[in-house]
């Protein structure tokens, strides 16, 4: 994730469980991708809650607001 000027970045992970277990971490590596959620189609929209955790001790990051965009691919 980056600050507004994209001059400073923070590393983070996204998980599908509130305990931040590694068995449920999202990854962009196709070899490591696991099924991260199960949703049965019903014809109405459904939510899938995910949790983010920013790595601590990122001493090179500047203070301020950071944002990122997450892209999700659904296969059915």
pLDDT at 43: 85
Task: Using alpha carbons, select from 16, 14, 13 the residue that is nearest to residue 49.
Answer: 16
**Predicted confidence (pLDDT) per residue in 46-76, tens digit:** 787 888 889 899 999 999 999 998 877 776 6
Q: Give the separation between CA 76 and CA 68, rounded to whole angstroms.
A: 26
The CA–CA distances, whole Å, from 51 to 6, 8, 44, 76 equal: 23, 22, 23, 24
Please name the helix (run of DSSP H) or strand (run of DSSP E) that holds residue 53, with its range, or none: strand 51-54
pTM of the model: 0.69
Quick one: tokens of 62?
């500047």
Q: What is the pLDDT of residues 26-40, one digit of tens each?
A: 766 656 555 666 677
């Amino acid at each position: 994730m980056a600050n507004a000027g994209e001059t400073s970045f923070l590393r983070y992970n996204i998980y599908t469980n509130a305990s931040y277990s590694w068995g449920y971490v999202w990854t962009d590596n196709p070899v490591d991708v696991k099924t991260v959620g199960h949703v049965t189609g019903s014809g109405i929209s459904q939510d899938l809650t995910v949790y983010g955790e920013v790595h601590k001790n990122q001493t090179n990051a500047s203070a301020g607001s950071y944002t990122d965009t997450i892209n999700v691919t659904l296969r059915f």
